[in-house]
Structure 1
Amino acid sequence: MAACHIFSMATYASNMICYPHPANPVINGLRKTHHLQFTGSTFWAIPMSLCSNGHHFHRPLAAASVEETAQTESKDGKPRFKLDAVDPEITEAQKQAIAQLPYHMAKRCKALMRQLICYSPQKGSLCELLAAWVRAMKPSRAHWLAVLKELRIKDHPLYLQVAEIAVLEESFEVNLRDYTKIIHGYGKQNRIEEAVKILSNMKARGFICDQVTLTAMIDMYSKAGHVKLAEETFEEIKLLGQPLDKRSYGSMIMAYIRAGVPDQGESLLIEMDAQEIYAGSEVYKALLRAYSMVGDTEGAQRVFNAVQLAGISPDAKLCGLLINAYGVSGQSQKARVAFENMRTAGIRPTDKCIALVLAAYEKENKLQKALKFLMALERDGIMVGKEAAETLAAWFRKLGVVEEVDTILREFAETEANSRVPAS
């Protein structure tokens, strides 16, 4: 009965996995959650009785006695999970998924994958299924990883639940990065409480957080809008005493951008430059976009200059963000200058960039200059596309001059032609 008791406690410690439940919202007043122990139905106290002094539990997940074996059997004594067979009445989608399993996948892995593809809680808990597999197939870490990889590739809804159970199993030989992957997975789904629970359990087993794991937490807090928690985690990374890498910096910069304080993100960018650490182009682009959308031309120009100092060649999208910043701020002339500078640099303008210049002219009601701009583009063989045409058409509708457009364009064409005729 002692063995049964241990198995039951392991099952209880995994109750979030074995018994599906709807995701709970983040609790109000969430503090530095990766240092807290939660109570209630969602979290449990750290299961100290399940931990050894090292990184493994005393007992594997697999049943090792008659009492434990009974956990995977129905009341009539028949196995709940037949690993060598599936229900003949499975759906066409399930049949197709099974048929698409990798040809070279080990048979023991395919046996579990078939069960997971056709899994139904009515047959028993997920913990019981995996216990039956471990007992029957004696998997190694490579087998576990093959199953998890396939679940991840298929974007299977049980992926993270299986991963959570796997880290409790001795044959999985869990390491720190296994926990990080689960935390990152929950972070992508904005399931903060589950990620924090995993972090807490990881620490309870003696693993120490590193920069990669804490950066994953920053990403998660950033996307969820918890900038204070992201800041606290960023400070925790600094306490590790190791140089911060561009990913940790970039994650914190993105947190500030999402929180609507790009200037604080720019401060970190300057701190990085001082250490000759350069963020990825996506970080520069996000920061430039943040300034662009509010018409902060000085901030946008600073970031645009920083992009070039970082050795990143500006593209049409980055140039478009700078043009937009000037347009939003009502500086159509500078928007046009930015457009021409882009062309001078050899970057072919997109239709989006042309539309942004037209929008800048519209904001200041400079129709004549806008038409002259279009005529200049036509001379250079640059045709107006759908977005720019729609921007111009909407402007004309507001002015009520749709019918006069052709006349105005002809007049401009004649004016341009006459200006090029040399005086006699």
Structure 2
Amino acid sequence: MNLKHLISRKTISSLSKINGKSVSNNSKYFSTISAAISPSHHPLSNFQSSAYLHNPKIPKPIFPFIRYVHSTLETKLSYASVEAKLASDSEEEEDGTVNEFLSRFFWIMRGKLSEVYTDCDKEIIDGMLLIIVEKVLEEMEKGGIKQTLGSTVAMPSQDFSEDLWRTVWEVSNMVLEDMEKARKKEKMKQFLQSEEVKEMCRFAGEAGIRGDLLRELRFKWAKEKMEENDFYRSLDRLRDEKPAKDGKIFNEQAVVAEDKPSVASLPKRKGKLKYKIYGLDLSDPKWAEVADKIQEREEIQEPKPISGKCKLVMEKILSLKKEDDPSQILAEWIELLQPSRVDWITLLERLGQQNPDIHLKVAELVLGEESFQTNVPDYTKLIDAYAQENRLEDAERILKKMVENGKMPDILTATVLVHMYSKADNVARAKEAFESLRNYGFQPDMKVYNSMIMAYINAGEPRSAESLMREMETRDIKPSEEIYMALLRSYSHSGDVVGAGRIATTMQFAGFQPTMESCSLLVEAYGQAGDPDQARSNFDNMIKLGHRPDDKCTASLIAAYEKKNLLDKALNLLMQLEKDGFEPGTATYTVLVDWLGKLQLVEEAEQLLGKIAELGEVPPLKVHVSLCDMYSRAGFEKKALQALGVLEAKKEELGPKEFERTINALIAGGFVQDARRIHGLMEAKGFIASEQLKVALMASQAFSQRRPTKR
């Protein structure tokens, strides 16, 4: 039976109520599960093949699970019920113990299934795990299970076989045992650092006890203190309990404890569980952390004690200057101490706290030490540290060294690279790192999306940025208002009114109300596009929404009128706004000076220039470009050369448009030699003149126009 048809005929009708809740209320979690295992590519659909039903390689103890998968698919949609649980769980506070148990359980159970079903791919194993975890969640929501292995399994007959259910509880026992060991290990660390144990160690040291013997005594004393603490805590609990009427509660409890066999007890909690299975695609970095935690079986390690000559060398390392080479003194320290990884980590931590200037140098040298046991996260941390300091070349050098040493970048490395290249406005490399994340099967999070979107925006590719934003929305990741505004600015500055309008509309649907800035950007977009009527319409709409136009927004509308040379409408607008209390600022006066200069209204432009001086502000670069253009074309040599001198002093701020306008104005005014000099500055900055400007320069050289008379 095709699973897609099964869903459409048998399941959709039953999805209206799951655990007494509407599916529409749980759509977020249902989409999470569906995105990872879509109906058209559902892993359990492969179970319809007779190859899996009659495969002699599949051991019988877990074989009934295949039949259970079929019966489950025909009666209900398993991951819909999981979705209902997850949706309700989002309202409760997360319980760390339950999450750790489920994470460990999921990881170990995956390994057991993979060993048995060697012919099954990852998607099929995911489907099996989905149903197993669902059942475990159901039992945990009942308040936990205490079930002796080998006894009758309290499960419906149509569910797991007894063998499979026993396997589940064997894994549960294993996980609980590991969690208890981890708890004791952390507790032991606390007692090792307790003041009483430290005092005894100091006394032993003064008595002449050193080395391994002191270390053994320290662990022994810490263990005794921990056991003593546990004993008194148990007495406190017994004291707080309500005594039995017959006064024999302690004896009865002792008898029960002796007769009761060992049990597998799942963690309990009140209310619903809050545990996300991450779509069962294991793409979240948390799974790697859980795997490392489960693999960890090391004893508690302490750094070696440092004394004598080694201590003196250590102090020299800590006092190195930024320009010093630490390799020689580091080699001496290695020879004296013979450090292990924990010693290296201690050294790097102290350097990071006491001498950050030399920390990165030593961290890079440590990567090549065999005793450090360098792994991929070590390279990643150093790359990230260089990226934080904007040292892109050093970060790339470490990345290259990492690959040369046979350490391939992982998900975390790719994430760091996305942020690094996005910050450096290197959109090509950022895109490569972003795509490598997808190749790893990792779904980017909000921070990665934001970095990549900003990289596209800074590179002048707002459409690519918008495409990523739409991808975020399909994955139920709500873009922030900052992302929307960055896209709106990009479209507005380029005069793309369609894109700007689309983003503004999307913002309103997303629940962001129009602000002063968003309305101003729409006015600017239509102004850049040369549509003063639509710019004025958005300007008036902004006033209706209760936003008072500022100087920058008014300047955008005046610039829109300038493109169509509608000076009367611009002046009428200013008079109307002044009646309402508006006072023009530098931005508005700058647009008017440029406009009047193009009309050769020199006196009027100079009056407005005086208005800018009255405001006590320095005229922006655009004003000096306008003045040079106006005075050159009007033949005012002295004033033209003064304005040109200001522009030459600020040549680093000039762009290709400003260079072209200035050179054309100088040629038109007869200042040919000055025009050629400015053209040389333009080429020195790497800007290429347009064909029109090249023709104008050739013509000016041919006709050798003479400078106008001084005025």
TM-score normalised over the length of structure 1: 0.57
- What's the CA shift string for 1:369-413, capped at 9, x where partnerless? 111221222222222222222222332233233656999xxxxxx
2:315 to 80, 83, 86: 83
2:395 to 154, 173, 194: 194
Q: Mapping of 1:208-247 within 5 angstroms?
A: 209-210=410-411, 212-222=412-422, 226-247=426-447
Contact 1:190/1:224, CA 8 A, preserved across alignment: no
Question: Which moved further from structure 2: 174-183 or 237-246?
Answer: 174-183
2:348 to 144, 155, 163: 144
- What's the CA shift string for 1:205-251, capped at 9, x where partnerless? 868622x4312212333455654443332222123334321222222
Partner of 2:502: 302
Residues of 2 paired with 1:315 and 1:166: CA distance? 52
Contact 1:141/1:171, CA 8 A, preserved across alignment: no
Change (3 A) 1:306 1:193: farther
SS of alignment partner, residue 315 of structure 2:
coil
SS of alignment partner, residue 304 of structure 1:
helix
Cα offset for 1:177? Answer: 5.8
Structure 2, unaligned stretches of length 5 or more? Answer: 1-295, 297-303, 608-711
Residues of 2 paired with 1:298 and 1:398: CA distance? 30
Partner of 2:544: 344
Contact 1:323/1:357, CA 8 A, preserved across alignment: yes
Contact 1:285/1:318, CA 8 A, preserved across alignment: yes
Residues of 2 paired with 1:201 and 1:342: CA distance? 55
Residues of 1 paired with 2:353 and 2:511: CA distance? 36
Residues of 2 paired with 1:377 and 1:338: CA distance? 16
Cα offset for 1:313? Answer: 4.7
Contact 1:265/1:287, CA 8 A, preserved across alignment: yes
Partner of 2:479: 279
Cα offset for 1:129? Answer: 4.5
Residues of 1 paired with 2:332 and 2:548: CA distance? 62
Q: Note if 1:373 corresponds to 2:560.
A: no
Partner of 2:177: none
Residues of 2 paired with 1:404 and 1:354: CA distance? 20
Residues of 2 paired with 1:381 and 1:327: CA distance? 24
- What's the CA shift string for 1:129-176, capped at 9, x where partnerless? 456678689968466346425666xxx5x5533443455679989886
Q: Mapping of 1:71-220 within 5 angstroms?
A: 83=315, 112=318, 115-116=319-320, 118-121=321-324, 125-130=325-330, 141=345, 144-145=348-349, 147-148=351-352, 156=357, 158=358, 160-165=360-365, 179-187=379-387, 189=390, 191-192=392-393, 194-195=395-396, 197-198=398-399, 201=402, 209-210=410-411, 212-220=412-420
Cα offset for 1:330? Answer: 0.2
Cα offset for 1:335? Answer: 1.9
- What's the CA shift string for 1:324-350, capped at 9, x where partnerless? 211111012222222333333344433
Partner of 2:468: 268
Residues of 2 paired with 1:151 and 1:349: CA distance? 52
Q: Note if 1:327 corresponds to 2:518.
A: no
Question: Which moved further from structure 2: 214-223 or 187-196?
Answer: 187-196
- What's the CA shift string for 1:50-85, capped at 9, x where partnerless? xxxx9xxxxxxx9x9xxxx9xx9xxxxxx9x7937x
1:355 to 535, 547, 555: 555
- What's the CA shift string for 1:84-125, capped at 9, x where partnerless? 7xxxxxxxxxxxxxxxxxxxxxxxxxx82xx24x4443xxx2
SS of alignment partner, residue 277 of structure 1:
coil
1:393 to 575, 584, 593: 593
Partner of 1:93: none
Contact 1:293/1:328, CA 8 A, preserved across alignment: yes
Question: Which moved further from structure 2: 337-346 or 291-300?
Answer: 337-346
Aligned AA for 2:410? C
Aligned AA for 1:379? K
Partner of 2:449: 249
Change (3 A) 1:195 1:149: farther
Q: Give percent identity, aligned residues only.
A: 38
Contact 1:179/1:199, CA 8 A, preserved across alignment: no
Residues of 2 paired with 1:340 and 1:160: CA distance? 57
Change (3 A) 1:247 1:406: closer
SS of alignment partner, residue 83 of structure 1:
helix
Residues of 2 paired with 1:149 and 1:380: CA distance? 59
Aligned AA for 1:332? P
Change (3 A) 1:120 1:269: closer
Change (3 A) 1:160 1:307: farther
Change (3 A) 1:202 1:334: same
Change (3 A) 1:278 1:133: farther
Cα offset for 1:274? Answer: 1.8
Contact 1:141/1:173, CA 8 A, preserved across alignment: no
SS of alignment partner, residue 330 of structure 1:
coil
Aligned AA for 1:335? A
- What's the CA shift string for 1:295-321, capped at 9, x where partnerless? 111011112223333444554444333
Contact 1:288/1:321, CA 8 A, preserved across alignment: yes
Question: Which moved further from structure 2: 335-344 or 166-175?
Answer: 166-175
Residues of 2 paired with 1:206 and 1:167: CA distance? 12
Contact 1:222/1:251, CA 8 A, preserved across alignment: yes
SS of alignment partner, residue 400 of structure 1:
coil
RMSD (Å) for aligned C-alpha atoms: 4.7
Paired residues in the alignment total 304
Contact 2:551/2:588, CA 8 A, preserved across alignment: yes
Change (3 A) 1:318 1:299: same
TM-score normalised over the length of structure 2: 0.36
> Which structure has greater helix proportion?
2
Residues of 1 paired with 2:572 and 2:432: CA distance? 54
Question: Which moved further from structure 2: 398-407 or 319-328?
Answer: 398-407
Bigger Rg, which one: 2
